[in-house]
Amino acid sequence: MLYQRVLITGANGMLGQELVALMSRVPRYDVLATGRDEGPRFSGASCGYLPLDVTDPEAVRRAFLDFTPGVVINCAARTHVDGCEDDRDTCWKVNAVAVEHLARQCHGLGARLIQVSTDFVFDGEKGPYRETDRPRPVNFYGKAKLAGENAARDAGIDKWAIARTNVVYGAGEAMPRSNFVLWVIDKLSKGEPVNIFTDQWRTPTYARDLAAGIERIARFGKTGVYNLSGRDFVTMYDFAQAIARVFDFDASLIHPTTSAAFKQKATRPPRTGFIILKAETELGFKPRSIDEALRHLGTRLGLPVTTS
């Protein structure tokens, strides 16, 4: 059997853990998980692990020379959107410059680079977006991620792919950060109120489905931009209501608010979300509905879920 060597960066993060779990189970892939930590945060995956800070070009070069990957999936990112406004330098180094290092090494080896990106490359005036729509970021995180997208193209013609996604939720082991669904579950399960935006529209994405879409980009050797998200276009308020419904929490704890009333450090684009037709037709990407995904997640977390 011909093995495909797959190097995953940011493997200890939410998406990274899902990708490692999925791809290390497939005999065709020889997976090297890499992350900033000394060891993996996940257990049970049959793959190698290497500590790797993607902002260190020499360490990236050595990792590429030793492992000679055929595919690199870049899940490493500074994902704290408000934190990126405060610490622009780190945000730019991780989300933009590090992708230049990765693309350069991919180009040298003839490896493919799959760069994970975000709806925040758009201004949110006209969502849901297609792959061909023109980016115009409104915060620093979005600007840095857009620069990262552009850098990924330097891997070479037919060697780069960009997987754009939004509002990713899921579960993992010792995850570095929480996510919207886990946060809402935590609050509502304690009977605590939450204020949720009625004017921010998204297509929330179950991390396990996103990983399945990215694996298909790798498997089919696809090039170009792919929108990989859920297909339900909802406000964050509607999404929180779905969480309350599926986990049988008191929905009256969810208070509607607006971006104008509840200021955040980084401007949020109002209407993003994605049209995923290209991924559905070219990759056979089939994300679960919000309710199905939440039930699946609930079962993994050992939480009781309603049946309809």
- Which residues of the chain form contacts with ligand NAP (CB under 6 A)? 9-10, 12-16, 35-36, 53-55, 75-79, 94, 116, 118, 145, 165-168, 176-177
* Nearest one of 245, 264, 143, 130 to 197, comparing CA atoms: 264
* Residue with Cβ nearer ligand NAP (72 or 76): 76
* Residue with Cβ nearer ligand NAP (121 or 254): 121
Q: Is 191 within 8 Å of 250 (Cβ atoms)? A: yes
Beta-ladder partners of 35: 51
Taking the complex as a whole, the smallest distance from the CB of residue 154 to ligand NAP amounts, in Å, to 17
Q: Is 95 within 8 Å of 109 (Cβ atoms)? A: no
Taking the complex as a whole, the smallest distance from the CB of residue 244 to ligand NAP amounts, in Å, to 20
Integer Cα distance of 153 and 172 in angstroms? 30
Alpha helices in the chain (DSSP H): 14-23, 57-67, 81-86, 88-92, 98-109, 140-152, 180-189, 207-219, 236-247, 277-283, 290-301
Beta-sheet pairing, 201-202 with 234-235: antiparallel
How many other C-beta atoms are found inside a 10 Å radius of the C-beta of residue 22? 17
Q: Is 244 within 8 Å of 140 (Cβ atoms)? A: no
Those residues whose C-beta lies under 8 Å from the C-beta of residue 73, and which sit 6 or more positions away, are: 6, 7, 8, 9, 19, 114, 116, 214, 218
The pair of three-digit structure tokens given for residue 59, joined into one six-digit string: 């360490």
Taking the complex as a whole, the smallest distance from the CB of residue 261 to ligand NAP amounts, in Å, to 22
Taking the complex as a whole, the smallest distance from the CB of residue 191 to ligand NAP amounts, in Å, to 26
Q: Environment class of residue 243 by beta-carbon count within 10 Å: exposed (0-12), middle (13-18) or buried (19+)?
A: buried
Taking the complex as a whole, the smallest distance from the CB of residue 208 to ligand NAP amounts, in Å, to 12
Which residue in the shown chain puts its C-beta closest to ligand NAP? 13
Residues marked as catalytic: 141
* Residue with Cβ nearer ligand NAP (57 or 256): 57
* Residue with Cβ nearer ligand NAP (178 or 306): 178
* Residue with Cβ nearer ligand NAP (228 or 254): 228
